[in-house]
Amino acid sequence: MSNKAMIAMSGGVDSSVAAWLTKQAGFDCTGATMRLFTTNEPDEAAEAHAVAERLGLPHLTFDFAAEFRQQVMDKFAAAYEQGQTPNPCISCNRQLKFGRLLEEAQHMGFSHLATGHYARIEYDQGRGRWLLKKALDAGKDQSYVLFGLTQQQLACTLLPLGELTKAQVRQIAEQQSFANAHKRESQDICFVPDGDYAAFIQQHTGHSYPPGDFVNKQGQVLGRHRGLIHYTLGQRHGMGLALGRPAYVCGLCPQQNTVQVGFAEDLYISGLRLREINLITVPELNEPQYFAVKMGYRRREQPALVQQTGPDELLIQFVRPQRTTGIGQAAVIYAGELVVGGGLIAETLAN
């Protein structure tokens, strides 16, 4: 196998340092930037190109705007229309970064794709499998969004930042005089930089989303909502209802155009059903086992019994009831620092 590595470079400090580290490790490196949409992207591509030039690396730009619109943006908007809460970063990793970009890299003769994610990959001789592990910097760990990597993808992926802290990464960037050494990190979805999902969906689809009823569990009308896409499961603010104590969105019904409202105790679930699953440590789960399950990037892991109930289905039963999360989010299964696998939440089970 050759030691040619394509570096996915976004113009940020993490991917820039990943490029430097990969070059230091002896790989023949080329930087690559995915052009996914028009907003602000010329700046990102220019920043990535400047870092690549400083490192003496060739730099390529791939126009994946059509695929990104179809595979990520369209699916994001369609999911919201159905009352779901998707994670577009996971879709982008699956379809674009470790899909189209990796395909291009392999077609061009590169042996590896390196990214600036905070996680670790290693080969386990005993299992005969590639493993995905949490980053050493727990505060920056991104293994959650990488659960969909297959054995083939893990085998040719490099994650140079997995053993470093964010402070160490910025220090390397300073030492190399990268202009982005102190660039602020965005916490928003890249194609919704202002965080206004409803405005993006209306603009993207050209659809209108009419007002409807807020209802309680018994179906009684409590008031009027502004349109389904303005609400997500667990939301507390922005409803304008006076119910005597804090109220939350407990359900979304596109068919009836209603938003079900309840209280904190109504948000708890006993388990989940997952689809579009990917297992990493094993090819399949032959028996129910206890693991730790994470239902969101910022949420804590929770103990649960995990059972594979079909070729593409996992049943999660929590040891203790958990606050619900949106359909379409990912649930990722951990055994200590190892990512066992995960899937997308297709159903929540009542408490």
Per-residue pLDDT tens digits for 238-278: 898 989 999 999 999 999 999 999 999 999 999 999 999 99
Are 259 and 212 in contact by the 8 Å Cβ rule? The answer is yes
| Per-residue model confidence as pLDDT tens digits over 171-201 | 999 998 888 777 777 667 888 878 899 999 9
Active site residue 89: no
- Assess whether pLDDT exceeds 50 at residue 40: no
Cα–Cα nearest to 120, from 162, 160, 156: 162
Rounded to an integer, what distance in angstroms lies between the CA atom of residue 267 and that of residue 236?
11
Cα–Cα nearest to 31, from 120, 107, 114: 114
Angle made by CA atoms 89, 102, 333, in degrees to the nearest 5: 45
For residue 192, give the 3-state DSSP assignment.
coil
Q: Can you read off the two tokens belonging to residue 94?
A: 């699956």
Are 267 and 248 in contact by the 8 Å Cβ rule? The answer is yes
Residue 341 DSSP one-character state = E
Q: Can you read off the two tokens belonging to residue 339?
A: 């990512």
Rounded to an integer, what distance in angstroms lies between the CA atom of residue 25 and that of residue 160?
9
- Assess whether pLDDT exceeds 90 at residue 227: yes
Residue 200, phi then psi, degrees to nearest 5: -60, -45
Cα–Cα nearest to 172, from 52, 4, 43, 15: 15
Exactly one of 29, 89, 92, 156 is catalytic; name it. 92
Active site residue 190: yes
Are 12 and 117 in contact by the 8 Å Cβ rule? The answer is no
Integer CA distances (angstroms), 15 to 4, 47, 172, 246, in order: 17, 11, 12, 42
Cα–Cα nearest to 31, from 135, 101, 89, 120: 101
Residue 59, phi then psi, degrees to nearest 5: -135, 130
pLDDT at residue 177 in the model: 86
Are 53 and 197 in contact by the 8 Å Cβ rule? The answer is no
pLDDT at residue 1 in the model: 52
Q: Can you read off the two tokens belonging to residue 36?
A: 């996914």
Exactly one of 29, 89, 156, 190 is catalytic; name it. 190
